[in-house]
Every structure is written in structure tokens, then in C-alpha cells.
Amino acid sequence: MDLYLRGIMLGFAIAAPVGPIGVLCIRRTLVSGRLYGLLSGIGAATADAVYGTIAAFGLKVVSRFLLGQQFWLQLFGGCFLLFLGIRTWRSVVSDMPLRSADQIRQLLGTYLTTLFLTLTNPMTILSFVGIFAGMGLAAGNFKSSVSLVFGVFCGSAIWWLLLSVCVGHFREKMDTKILIWVNRVSATIMCGFGSVVLWQAFS
């Protein structure tokens, strides 16, 4: 239980800094609703749990492979951010309700895009390794590892839930013109993040 609570605090602290995932979560909450923003965050929380699992269980082969492919992962991640930024700028804000099948596809896409973006940063593994070592967690300790990683996921999910709920209150006060500008500002920020990631990959 102690490790689980530590994991919650760790996951909350990792998720809280505003980056490209935070921008996506805020934008999707304002334009599409709280559920879309929450699923964006849950995708990131899932990726954090994946990398936390790799670090906690000492899966050196997997971690070395991912770190060895850091250039390509950053390249794909940066290009994907630019793609999302351009698509966000060109997207149309509509009040028309979606069909159930279209909504399911959009919700799934919302989750998968943030999962993919977060997984393109393999340096997260090294962060988890350092943090777990500092907490005295031995790699391969199954029970302790599961408790800590599950806590990380829950803490991250709690942050995204709070963010989507709070931001959702502003959505009710916005009209279509404001939402168009939300799209454009979000698109500009995402393209900026994408450019930085590409610069880091080639530098």
C-alpha cells in the first residue's frame, strides 16, 4: 500500500507539467468534451505505465532496444506532432452530433494518438529507473513493481481527470468562433513542440 501511494504521487507529478499531451487534452476537452480530454490523458497514463513496467521489472533487452531507436522514435513523434498540428488547424468545429460508430472511432483515435506520442519518448524509461532506484525498489520484485506501476497509472489518470473536468467548465461558455481560435492556438503550439522534438532528434 505504501508503494502504491508513492506511485500515485509519482504518476501525478509526472503527468502535471504541461507539454504536447497537456495541450491536446485541453484542446480536445474544449472542442469535443470532457470524455475526449480524459481519454487523451488515459493514453498518456497507459504509456507511462508501460515504460514504468519495463523499468520496474528490469527488462534490459527491451529498454536497450527502445533507447537505441531513440532517433527514429523522436523523428516519428515530431512528424506526428506536426501532422496533428496541421490537421487541428484545418479541422472544422461543428455542433452536429456524431453517429455512434463515428464517435467510437474518434474516441479510440483520441486514446491511441496520445499513447503513441508518449511512447515516442524512450528517455522516460531512464527517468523511471532512476526514480525506482532512489525509492529502493529492486528490479524484478514482482509484488512491489506491480503496486508501484499501478499507482503511477492511477496518479497520472487522476491528474488527467481533474484537468478535463476543470477545463470542461469553460467549454460551456464558448461559442464556435472562440473554439476556432482554440484550434488555431493549439495547432501552433503542437507544431512548435513537434519542431523542438525534430531539432532534438537531429542535434
Q: All 3 cell numbers of residue 8?
A: 500515485
* pLDDT recorded at residue 46: 92
Torsion of CA 136, 147, 115, 190, to 10 degrees: -50
**17 pLDDT higher than 80:** no
Mean pLDDT over residues 95-99, rounded? 48
Q: Identify which has the larger pLDDT, 23 or 123.
A: 23
- From residue 97, alpha-carbon distances to 56, 103, 112 in Å are 43, 9, 22
**137 pLDDT higher than 50:** yes
For all residues of the chain together, what is the average pLDDT? 79
- From residue 89, alpha-carbon distances to 82, 171, 180, 190 in Å are 11, 18, 8, 10
Contact 125, 67 (CB under 8 A): yes
Q: How many alpha carbons fall within 13 Å on the CB side of residue 167?
A: 24
Q: All 3 cell numbers of residue 81?
A: 506532432
Contact 140, 21 (CB under 8 A): no
Categorize the per-residue pLDDT at 51 as very low, low, confident or very high, splitting at 50, 70 and 90: confident
* pLDDT recorded at residue 140: 52
Contact 187, 85 (CB under 8 A): yes
- Amino acid letter for position 77: G
| CA distance linking residue 78 with residue 202, whole number of Å | 11
Question: Tell me: the pLDDT tens digits for 55-92?
Answer: 777 766 676 777 777 788 888 888 888 888 888 887 76
| CA distance linking residue 196 with residue 203, whole number of Å | 10
Contact 66, 5 (CB under 8 A): no
Question: Tell me: the pLDDT tens digits for 138-156?
Answer: 555 677 778 888 888 998 8
* 3-state DSSP assignment of residue 203: coil
Q: Identify which has the larger pLDDT, 44 or 125.
A: 44
Q: All 3 cell numbers of residue 74?
A: 523522436
Categorize the per-residue pLDDT at 98 as very low, low, confident or very high, splitting at 50, 70 and 90: very low
